[in-house]
Amino acid sequence: MANVHNGSQHLQESITTYRREKRKGKMQIAVSIVFALFLVLLQPLVGIIIGAGLVLFFSRRSSSRAGISAEDYRIQLHGLNGERRLTSQLAKLPEDYDIYTNVFVEWQGKKSELDSVVVGPTGIYVVEMKSMRGRVYGDEAEKNWYLEKTGRQGGVYGKEFYNPTKQVGTHVYRLANNLRPLSKNLWVQGVVLFDRETSLDVTSQKSIVTNDVDQLRAYIEKQPLTVEAKDIARIKSYFERGVV
């Protein structure tokens, strides 16, 4: 098994904040309702007005402090679970590979957040993970790709999203420039990894685009051994110091 090094989970922090504030809001609303019921016994109209005001106040405050909407929470939770699932499958690589998640890189004043970086004797692989369901259409030359989904009642709908090969290409460029001083013959390969349930109708030459993590692992392992052990040690130390 590969060694997995988890970086800062911004999605997890956002989800935790949402859950905490919503839970706190529910408790405050419950207390408000109990207080309002007590007032209703004394002054019915006053109790109803105060109770409704408190419920509205705490409901709005919990939504404001949650930081994201309920829809954003659902999307982020789905994305986080997808990333974790794909990372756990990637981790079946041999023990001489390391996987770094949620890596931040900066080059010429511009920053990128990389979902996962695989470091091993066959090279460095920047993996952009996409947790989607449906059919994806796209070409690496296009700015946007298209996701088509079929609803529960048979209706077909879809949406555009930014071309992930361009996204991972930017990540590769910035990371490669950061790591170049550590190894002369370093090869950094971009990968876009979709869920297995996602059907792909895409064209890409520079980046690997796949929904088969087993095939991706096999590809990584079969590549020539291009990274020397001393270079791997320097690269791993670089990531682990968090200086990227």
List Cβ neighbours of 80 (8 Å cut-off, separation of 6 or more).
9, 11, 12, 15
Global pTM reads 0.78
Domain boundary assignment for the chain: 11-68, 93-240
Long-range contacts of 208-216 (CB under 8 A, 24+ apart): 209/164, 209/165, 213/86, 213/89, 213/90, 214/89, 216/90, 216/191
The model's pLDDT over 80-94, given as tens digits with 9 standing for 90+, comes to 777 788 888 889 999
Q: Within the chain, where are the H helices?
A: 10-42, 44-66, 70-90, 164-179, 213-222, 229-240
Structure-block tokens of residue 15: 């989800």
Name the nearest CA neighbour of 118 among 135, 95, 137.
Answer: 95
pLDDT of residue 9: 64
List Cβ neighbours of 152 (8 Å cut-off, separation of 6 or more).
none
Across 50-79, average pLDDT: 77
pLDDT of residue 215: 93
Cβ-based burial of 204 (10 A; exposed 0-12, middle 13-18, buried ≥19): buried
pLDDT of residue 244: 43
pLDDT of residue 225: 87
Q: Token match 């947790």: residue?
A: 131
Between the alpha carbon of residue 230 and those of residues 121, 211, 243, the distances in Å are 10, 33, 19
Say whether pLDDT at 38 is over 70.
yes
Angle of CA points 135, 136, 138, to nearest 5°: 150
Distance between CA atoms of residues 45 and 109, nearest Å: 60
Between the alpha carbon of residue 9 and those of residues 71, 136, 170, 193, the distances in Å are 19, 27, 21, 19
pLDDT of residue 75: 65
pLDDT of residue 50: 85
Say whether pLDDT at 227 is over 90.
no
The model's pLDDT over 91-108, given as tens digits with 9 standing for 90+, comes to 999 999 999 998 889 999
List Cβ neighbours of 115 (8 Å cut-off, separation of 6 or more).
83, 101, 102, 127, 128, 129
Across 116-142, average pLDDT: 93
The model's pLDDT over 158-214, given as tens digits with 9 standing for 90+, comes to 999 999 999 999 999 999 999 988 887 788 999 999 988 899 999 999 999 999 999
Most confident of 4-8, 46-50, 98-102: 98-102
Across 53-68, average pLDDT: 80
Q: What is the mean pLDDT of the chain?
A: 86
